[in-house]
Amino acid sequence: MLIRLGYEMVFQCPQPTPMILTLNVHACRSGDLLTPDHLQLEPMVPLRQYFDGFGNLCTRLIAPAGRFRIYSDTTLRDCGLPEAEFFNAREVPVDELPENTLVFLLPSRYCESDLLSQTAWQLFGHLTPGWSRIQAVCDWVHQHLTFGYQYARPTKTAFEAYNERQGVCRDYAHLAIAMLRALNIPARYCTTYLGDIGVPKVDAPMDFAGCLEAYVGDAWHFFDPRNGARRIGRVLIARGRDAADVAISTSYGPTLLESFKVWTDEVPELQQSSQQLAAA
């Protein structure tokens, strides 16, 4: 299947303002792109791109004073299948973990695994280690938090989400990540595109989706405590210790976000055929 995806962000800047953007489709999916995933800017300004320490493609620029529009619209090929499950995948003992996974065992800005350690072991320590225990953590978070955009705030941490029992997708992900790290399971935060493909349409503006990857069975796998299901068409943008590492935009000065749109839609079959002919 083909998926059309993109975004539009419009800022008002009272003065020239340095910005870092993390908006490109992750390099692990670049081979699936049918059209280039270029940032489009109005007005156009010089930009520089680099890969950060987590392998995310980031863009540096100076937003001009006044109205500044950032947008992209591209098409990507996807297998069209729900995310795979590996019920027999084992938890990897800490002494066998690859060195590059160890940072994802540590507490971080939004994931205070040290504060949630006792709770995590009380709730999940008796369960059989492996895929099923990770899923049990995500299911518990899915069932015990109430979703609502009115519950969002940029400073909310996993420990606060646990105590308040409410949040948005990033809070679900942060709480599950903190619980998993407390159980000695590497877990990292992911920002993704996720449309309503294969599920009922949601009557709400589309946004980027926060979820997690856990290291199990000697590989990283997606888990989604917010939606509580394996999904079709998830596209990774960036990953890190928590949301602080993968902010879609960071401004070093005053800015006002005037408008924000995201789209992730399956391309109809007739349009797919036309695009496939064009690509050939």
DSSP for 97-120 reads S-GGGGGGGS-BTTB-TTTTHHHH
The three-class DSSP label of residue 144 is: helix
CA distance 94 to 89: 15
CB 75 within 8 A of CB 10: no
Instruction: State residue 97 phi and psi, 5-degree precision.
Output: -70, 140
Q: What is the CATH number of domain 2-80+247-279?
A: 2.60.40.2250
pLDDT in tens, 26-44: 999 999 999 999 999 999 9
CA distance 130 to 56: 28
Instruction: State residue 171 phi and psi, 5-degree precision.
Output: -70, -40
| Distant-in-sequence, close-in-space partners of 201: CB < 8 Å, separation ≥ 6 | none
pLDDT on residue 134? 98
List beta partners, residue 108.
Answer: 111
Q: Report whether pLDDT(271) > 70.
A: no
- State the average pLDDT for the chain: 94
Residue 75 CA, distance from chain mean position: 19
The tally of CA atoms less than 13 A away on the side-chain side of residue 66 is 5
- CATH 2.60.40.2250 positions along the chain are 2-80+247-279
pLDDT in tens, 194-247: 999 999 887 777 899 999 999 999 999 999 999 999 999 999 999 999 999 999
Q: Report whether pLDDT(264) > 90.
A: yes
Longest dimension (CA), the chain: 57
Tokens encoding 136: 């049990």
pLDDT in tens, 125-173: 999 999 999 999 999 999 999 999 999 999 999 999 999 999 999 999 9
List beta partners, residue 70.
Answer: 9, 41
pLDDT band, residue 2 (cuts 50/70/90): very high
CATH tag for 94-232 (out of 3.30.70.1290, 3.40.630.30, 3.40.30.10, 3.10.620.30): 3.10.620.30
CA distance 44 to 68: 9
pLDDT on residue 8? 98
pLDDT on residue 191? 98
pLDDT on residue 270? 54
CB 186 within 8 A of CB 105: yes
* pTM listed for this prediction: 0.93
- CATH 3.10.620.30 positions along the chain are 94-232
pLDDT on residue 202? 78
Q: Report whether pLDDT(275) > 90.
A: no
pLDDT on residue 147? 95
Q: Report whether pLDDT(185) > 80.
A: yes
pLDDT in tens, 202-216: 777 789 999 999 999
| Cis amide leading into 43 (omega within 30) | yes
Q: Report whether pLDDT(269) > 90.
A: no
